[in-house]
Every structure is written in C-alpha cells, then in structure tokens.
C-alpha cells in the first residue's frame, strides 16, 4: 500500500480517524476516514480570524507609522529644494521696480541679539556681493544699530559706491531695546543724500523683545514712508507674529526666521520654515524688485 510522504498509513482502515456525522459505507460497512496530509491545514485547525479590536489596533499602528511620514514629506521636499547660500542664487525675470531701491537695515544690538552679530555680519557681506551682482548700481543701502539708543553705521550709499566688506564700528548703545531711535536715525540720514526711491524697505533684525512705546513706534514708522517693512528673527523664536510687532501699521509687516544650529534650533527652524540669513536678504531683494530668487545653475 502506498505511503504518504513522511507518514505510514495503517492497513486497518477502521483504525483511522472516523469522520463525524458521515454515515458508513453501505457495502463495506466501513466508516469514512479523514486523512491528514502534511502541509495541509485542516479547517478545524485554522487560526481564528482576528477580532474587531485586533483589526483596530493594527490600523492604528499603521496610521502611527505612516501619518508622520506623510506630514514630514513636504518638510523634506522643502529642505532638499532650499537655496543654501546667496553665493549660489540669482534673480530671474524682469525687474518691475522702475527706479532705485532703498533698503534700510535696523540691527538689534541688545544683549539677547549681540551673539548673532558675527553671523549677521557674514550674511550682510554675502548680500552685498549678491547685490553687486544682481541689483542695480544705483540701489541704495543704509544701516543703523540700536539698543537703548541708535547709531548710523552705513549712511545711505549707492551700491556702486559701497565696499563689498563695509567697516562697522561697535558703539556702546546701552542695555535696552528700542527700535524708534534707529528708524529716526535712518530717516534723518536721508537728507544728506536724498534719493527718489521706487520702493523703500525697512529690514529689522531683532528677536522682537522691544521696549518701544507702541504709539510712538507706529508714528515714527509712518513718517518713514516705507513701502515694505520686514522683521528677521532667529529661528528659535516661537512661531507666529510677536506681540511687539502687531497693531495698525505693524500688521502689514512681513516676518521671516533665519535658521539656527543645535537640536532645538533646528526643530524650531523647521517649524518656522526658516532659511539661511543671507538667503532671507535675497528673498527680500526679490520681493522688492518683483523678480524670482532661484538657485544658480
């Protein structure tokens, strides 16, 4: 009698396991048997189907695995497409500004921001190299530092007369943080070299911990006749518009964050969609000229 692989079949068929509920053969009188073959699982031995709770847990586990990946996908895509430096960027498209641009910078030199001065100085030098390459020669740059008081560090100067690495002294401006004196210093400096600007922008480099009287600050900014106002904040500042930069005229102010190092800094930089500091200056220039900032080929 033929044997199944790995198993001997007993000669006595009655010794096999009878099939329950099936009548015996009418001729032989033998009870039909169920033969278990290796590798074939009997229906009665199959695992029970998972219950509803088990299926819910499995779906929850899949969601916890894939939802964060879906949320991170846009962030990863943005990170891959970022412009790493203004040295690798250019402006493309027609320039909509029909006259010189006037860009005035107010730089917070209070204790909480002084640690960023070296980084900001490098970014400004990169921006000036970029400006010499991409902006018009009659576009004008000015700069003032502020803390409790303010000091003009770069008077209004056309790009064709501006050194690529302008010298800046480090005046003692006290321990407070008041933007109003810097705006007044920049506005007063225009009289020495008046320029009919197609657009005038104020770029405020600060962490927005300002001690100005809000009404006085708004009055001074309104007198400055700025087309655009930008605030450039460290990437580790909480997302959103700081309370010191809200209300009336300040509600139209555009807030950008620059990237920070360290685990916490990188996390907040991702949340704030922060760019390199010099690249932010490039985005501002593109916004004023009506062009696009792209990575150089």
Whether 285 is covered by a domain: the verdict is: yes
CATH of the domain at 204: 3.40.50.410
For the purposes of burial, counting CB atoms within 10 Å of the CB of 63, is it exposed (0-12), middle (13-18) or buried (19 or more)? exposed
In-domain check, residue 91: yes
Instruction: Report pLDDT for 199.
Output: 93
Residue 57 in any domain: the answer is: no
pLDDT at position 8, please? Answer: 46
Give the total number of structural domains in the chain: 1
Structural domain contains residue 26:
no
The residue segments making up the domain with residue 99 are 84-295
pLDDT of res. 184: 96
CB 201 within 8 A of CB 103: yes
Does 196 reside within a domain?
yes
In a domain, 51, yes or no: no
pLDDT tens digits, residue range 184-242?
999 999 988 788 999 999 999 998 888 899 889 989 999 999 999 999 988 766 666 66
- Is residue 141 in some structural domain? yes
In a domain, 7, yes or no: no
Q: Name the stretches of the chain with pLDDT < 70.
A: 1-54, 62-63, 65-81, 166-170, 236-242, 249, 260-274
- For residue 209, the 8-state DSSP code is -
**Which residues, at least 6 apart from 23, have a Cβ–Cβ distance to it below 8 Å?**
none
Whole-angstrom distance, CA of residue 181 vs CA of residue 31: 107
Residue 2 CB contacts under 8 Å (≥ 6 apart), including other chains: 9
pTM of the predicted model as reported, rounded to 2 decimal places: 0.70
Query: Residue 91: its pLDDT value, please?
Result: 95
- Contact assessment for residue 97 and residue 134, using Cβ atoms and an 8 Å cutoff: no
pLDDT digits (tens, 9 = 90+) for 78-102: 555 678 889 999 999 999 988 999 9
**Distances in whole angstroms, Cα of residue 245 to Cα of each of 206, 208, 264:** 11, 7, 24
């Amino acid at each position: 009698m033929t044997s199944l692989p790995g198993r001997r079949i007993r000669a006595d068929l009655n010794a096999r396991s009878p099939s329950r509920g099936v009548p015996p053969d009418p001729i032989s009188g033998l009870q039909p048997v169920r033969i278990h073959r290796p590798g074939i699982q009997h229906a009665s031995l199959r695992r029970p189907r998972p219950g509803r709770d088990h299926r819910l847990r499995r779906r929850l586990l899949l969601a916890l695995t894939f939802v964060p990946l879906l949320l991170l996908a846009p962030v990863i895509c943005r990170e891959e497409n970022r412009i790493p430096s203004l040295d690798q960027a250019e402006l493309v498209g027609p320039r909509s500004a029909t006259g010189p641009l006037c860009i005035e910078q107010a730089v917070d030199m209070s204790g909480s921001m002084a640690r960023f001065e070296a980084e900001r100085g490098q970014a400004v030098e990169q921006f000036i190299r970029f400006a010499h390459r991409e902006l018009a020669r009659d576009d004008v740059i000015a700069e003032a530092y502020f803390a409790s008081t303010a000091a003009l560090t770069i008077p209004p100067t056309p790009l064709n007369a501006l050194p690529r690495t302008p010298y800046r002294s480090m005046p003692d401006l006290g321990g407070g943080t008041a933007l109003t004196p810097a705006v007044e210093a920049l506005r007063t400096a225009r009289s020495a070299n008046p320029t009919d600007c197609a657009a005038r922008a104020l770029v405020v480099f600060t962490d927005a911990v300002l001690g100005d009287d809000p009404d006085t600050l708004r009055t001074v900014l309104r007198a400055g006749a700025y087309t655009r106002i930008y605030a450039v904040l460290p990437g580790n500042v909480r997302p959103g518009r700081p309370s010191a930069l809200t209300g009336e005229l300040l509600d139209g102010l555009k807030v950008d964050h620059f990237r920070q190092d360290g685990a916490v800094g990188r996390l907040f930089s991702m949340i704030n969609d922060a760019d390199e500091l010099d690249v932010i200056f490039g985005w501002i220039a593109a916004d004023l000229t009506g062009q696009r900032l792209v990575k150089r080929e």
